């Protein structure tokens, strides 16, 4: 039996090279030239663990944008290079998130988008900074994410202080506009960083604007029975009720309020887990009615935002803020790649730092990063009206008029 040699002889190599040169000189370079290398991008979210719903929604939003960009011809300035998503799971833990960054670094990602939660973002941005990987932070609102001097970190959405300040500003406008019917406040919050941080800020800020805080109630995660807290609210009779909790607790609390027919002048959330959720509105329309929320929300005047909503719903998913925030983050990165013209990490960081990207679906205006924070980012106040979520403030983006004080809800 004879064995065929797989080795290339010198003659073969020369012949091949000559043929290649001939073909290229006869005008088929576009066909035969190797396709532009793909650009690897880390899509890092907590898709398992307690934050899995938000993480999964975030991942879907990013994937939808990548599919669109690739279908439209990829990154033009890089010869139509496609974006290749490397999916990573932080398992709702900061340490796992940091380990995933190391893995993504070794896989050669040009940038990372994620990771939704503040605690995870603190670890992942730091790990990415060690390798000079540009890290676009989608949501993670805690202000420390962008105040540690990490030059690789760019937060697309607004931080906690900006959100709370805007929420209070909008609340004052709404209250003043109705003749100041509300003066007393009760805060019901969950025990972790988000709820506790919010409660602390509100306790220091609201009294400065003439509001009296009657009581602040903290509850554990998870809490399944809110009847005692609802009774407490009934006894104190606050004008305003401010819940700060995650989705499940938010919904259960709202239902307990509805069952006990507790009708304050407003239920006003800030980054409320359920108040800006089509899931909540669809499943519990009565409990959701007239609830207000200052949160991340899309610009209802932008056609792209409504197209994305339709696409998301076609996938049998709810159009949550995680979806459109991550969708916009991918487009922000694509814009930086276009301008950088190469997948070099330092060039992408420079492009992001000078970004004036405005093709997103958010009510932000062009991006402008100052110390890693998008100064153009702002939350809006929404209200559940006619089984839909409407933007009521700022008026420039409004799609509905505030109903305040809220009327009695039946159900």
Q: Is 349 in the site for other proteins (CB under 8 A)?
A: no
Q: Which of residues 279-338 bind other proteins (CB under 8 A)?
A: none
Contact 286/257 with Cβ under 8 angstroms? no
Q: Is 272 in the site for other proteins (CB under 8 A)?
A: no
Q: How far is the CB of 107 from other proteins (least distance, A)?
A: 9
Q: How far is the CB of 226 from other proteins (least distance, A)?
A: 18
CA–CA separation, 400 and 380 (whole Å): 12
Q: Is 144 in the site for other proteins (CB under 8 A)?
A: yes
| Closest CA relative to residue 90, chosen from 119, 63, 61 | 119
Q: How far is the CB of 194 from other proteins (least distance, A)?
A: 8
Contact 22/285 with Cβ under 8 angstroms? no
Question: 234 to each of 186, 217, 246, 376, how far by Cα in Å?
Answer: 11, 13, 22, 40
CA–CA separation, 271 and 371 (whole Å): 23
Strand partners, 244: 189
Structure tokens, 308: 């994305």
Residue selected from 36, 82, 87, 398 as contacting other proteins according to rule CB under 8 A? 87
Site map 43..62 versus other proteins, x via CB under 8 A: ----xx---x--xx------
Strand partners, 88: 44
Q: How far is the CB of 103 from other proteins (least distance, A)?
A: 5
Write down the residue that tokens 């400065």 correspond to: 208
Write down the residue that tokens 């197209």 correspond to: 307
Q: How far is the CB of 189 from other proteins (least distance, A)?
A: 8
Q: Is 150 in the site for other proteins (CB under 8 A)?
A: yes
Contact 344/305 with Cβ under 8 angstroms? no
DSSP 108: T
Residue selected from 33, 76, 130, 161 as contacting other proteins according to rule CB under 8 A? 130
Residue selected from 41, 78, 90, 123 as contacting other proteins according to rule CB under 8 A? 123
Residue selected from 115, 197, 273, 372 as contacting other proteins according to rule CB under 8 A? 197
Single out the segment in contact with other proteins by CB under 8 A; choices: 71-79, 123-131, 230-238, 399-407. Answer: 123-131
Residue selected from 89, 138, 239, 293 as contacting other proteins according to rule CB under 8 A? 89
Q: How far is the CB of 38 from other proteins (least distance, A)?
A: 17
């Amino acid at each position: 039996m004879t064995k065929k040699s797989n080795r290339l002889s010198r003659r073969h190599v020369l012949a091949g090279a000559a043929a290649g040169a001939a073909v290229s000189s006869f005008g088929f370079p576009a066909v035969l030239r190797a396709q532009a290398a793909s650009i690897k991008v880390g899509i890092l979210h907590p898709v398992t663990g307690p934050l899995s719903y938000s993480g999964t929604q975030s991942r879907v939003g990013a994937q939808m944008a990548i599919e669109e960009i690739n279908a439209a011809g990829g990154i033009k300035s890089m010869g139509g290079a496609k974006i290749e998503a490397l999916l990573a799971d932080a398992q709702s833990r900061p340490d796992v998130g940091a380990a995933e960054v190391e893995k993504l670094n070794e896989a050669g990602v040009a940038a990372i988008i994620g990771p939704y939660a503040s605690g995870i973002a603190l670890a992942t941005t730091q790990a990415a900074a060690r390798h000079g990987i540009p890290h676009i932070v989608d949501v993670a609102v805690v202000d420390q994410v962008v105040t540690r001097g990490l030059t690789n970190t760019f937060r697309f959405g607004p931080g906690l202080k900006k959100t709370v300040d805007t929420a209070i500003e909008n609340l004052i406008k709404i209250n003043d506009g109705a003749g100041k019917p509300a003066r007393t406040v009760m805060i019901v919050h969950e025990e972790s960083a988000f709820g506790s941080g919010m409660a602390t800020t509100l306790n220091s800020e609201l009294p400065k604007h003439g509001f009296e805080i009657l009581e602040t109630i903290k509850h554990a995660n998870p809490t399944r029975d809110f009847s005692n807290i609802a009774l407490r609210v009934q006894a104190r009779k606050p004008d305003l009720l401010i819940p700060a909790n995650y989705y499940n607790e938010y919904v259960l609390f709202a239902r307990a309020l509805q069952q006990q027919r507790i009708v304050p002048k407003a239920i006003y959330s800030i980054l409320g887990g359920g108040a800006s959720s089509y899931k909540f509105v669809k499943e519990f329309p009565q409990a959701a009615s007239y609830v207000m929320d200052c949160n991340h929300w899309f610009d209802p005047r932008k056609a792209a935002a409504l197209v994305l909503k339709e696409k998301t719903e076609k996938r049998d998913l709810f159009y949550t803020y995680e979806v459109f925030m991550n969708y916009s983050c991918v487009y922000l990165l694509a814009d930086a790649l276009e301008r950088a013209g190469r997948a070099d990490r330092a060039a992408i960081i420079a492009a992001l730092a000078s970004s004036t990207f405005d093709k997103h679906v958010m009510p932000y205006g062009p991006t402008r990063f100052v110390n890693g924070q998008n100064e153009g980012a702002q939350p809006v106040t929404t209200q559940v009206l006619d089984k839909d979520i409407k933007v009521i403030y700022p008026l420039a983006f409004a799609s509905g008029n505030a109903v305040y004080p809220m009327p009695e809800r039946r159900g």
